[in-house]
Amino acid sequence: MDLEALFLGGTKGLGLSMAKIALKEGWAITVAGRTSCACSIVVEGLAAGFLLDLEDGAPRELSKAFDLIVWTAGAYQEGPIIGLSRGDIRSICRNHLEGPVSFLVPILQKNRELGRPVFLIVVASSSSFRVRTNEGLYGTNKAAKAQLARTLGQELPSLIPGSRVLLANPGGMATPFWDGRGRDTSGFMDSNAVAACIWDEMQSQNVPFKEIHVVRQSDKSPKVEYGARLPE
Ligand SMILES: NC(=O)c1ccc[n+]([C@@H]2O[C@H](COP(=O)([O-])OP(=O)(O)OC[C@H]3O[C@@H](n4cnc5c(N)ncnc54)[C@H](OP(=O)(O)O)[C@@H]3O)[C@@H](O)[C@H]2O)c1
């Protein structure tokens, strides 16, 4: 049986870059997101698509076990916190935390039922520990996501022996994340290069939990650093 990987937020950007690496390595891929039907690798018949809106109060359920879950889904916060509407606040919290947790728990339950170990890659951000104005709620959700990954790094290997968790905090990447925001991303990292770093770290991980930072260097190339960071 092929190894099966789920990319939660694999329709574009970093998730799609990672899904393409997995495809080359022979994984069977499912890509989840609002635009999964239009995702290039789904349209080409190389991956299965799962239509999912994490901001929906009751996201669709996918009750199936996977060997690898890559959680990259995320959306930006537009402007200062005092400018956010109730709807914006709910969307951001659902997008980054409530939606993914509601979606992932039944999958993890399936893995447990089957005794099938899972490798979970959680992509947070440098905003999970670095204070940035106008990113208050975004950074807060990223910090929560990072702490969830650290906790799952202890919990999953005991609930489902053989499971592992990798928490990756990337810096700025030139992806559709910034589309229409007037941000100059010319100095940002290429998502394919960041994906390759994270994939290499996943493949060499022989401990239950690892936390990495994919740091942007002056020539835009990514550099991996290790361990949790204090807030700054
Ligand atoms: N780009 C950066 O500079 C940067 C830096 C640090 C960390 N990050 C984080 O890295 C992750 C990947 O970012 P990226 O740059 O690859 O972003 P991206 O190109 O905008 O891709 C975001 C992915 O998340 C999915 N997504 C967003 N909202 C969703 C929703 N409501 N329901 C389901 N799926 C949803 C999108 O799928 P659909 O559109 O198909 O729904 C897409 O696949 C994000 O968590 C982001 O916060 C990004």
CATH code for the domain of 12: 3.40.50.720
CA of 8 to the centre of ligand 1 (A): 9
159 within some domain: yes
143 within some domain: yes
123 within some domain: yes
Out of 6, 8, 14, give the residue to mutate to test ligand 1, the one with the largest number of ligand atoms within 8 Å of its CB: 14
90 within some domain: yes
User: 84: domain range?
Assistant: 4-226
Phi then psi for 225, rounded to 5 degrees? Answer: -125, 160
76 within some domain: yes
89 within some domain: yes
Query: Could you read off the pLDDT tens digit of each residue along the chain, which spans 232 residues?
Result: 689 999 999 999 999 999 999 999 999 999 999 999 999 999 999 999 999 999 999 999 998 999 999 999 999 998 999 999 999 999 999 999 999 999 999 999 999 999 999 999 999 999 999 999 999 999 999 999 999 999 999 999 999 999 999 999 999 999 999 999 989 999 999 999 999 999 999 999 999 999 999 999 999 999 999 999 999 9
Out of 18, 31, 173, give the residue to mutate to test ligand 1, the one with the largest number of ligand atoms within 8 Å of its CB: 173
Q: How far are the Cα atoms of 90, 115, 161, 216 from residue 155, in angstroms, in the given order?
A: 28, 14, 10, 31
CA of 15 to the centre of ligand 1 (A): 8
Query: CA-to-CA distance for 162 and 119, rounded, in angstroms?
Result: 9
232 within some domain: no
231 within some domain: no
Q: How far are the Cα atoms of 70, 86, 103, 158, 163 from residue 112, in angstroms, in the given order?
A: 18, 37, 15, 10, 10
Query: CA-to-CA distance for 201 and 95, rounded, in angstroms?
Result: 26
How many structural domains comprise the chain? 1
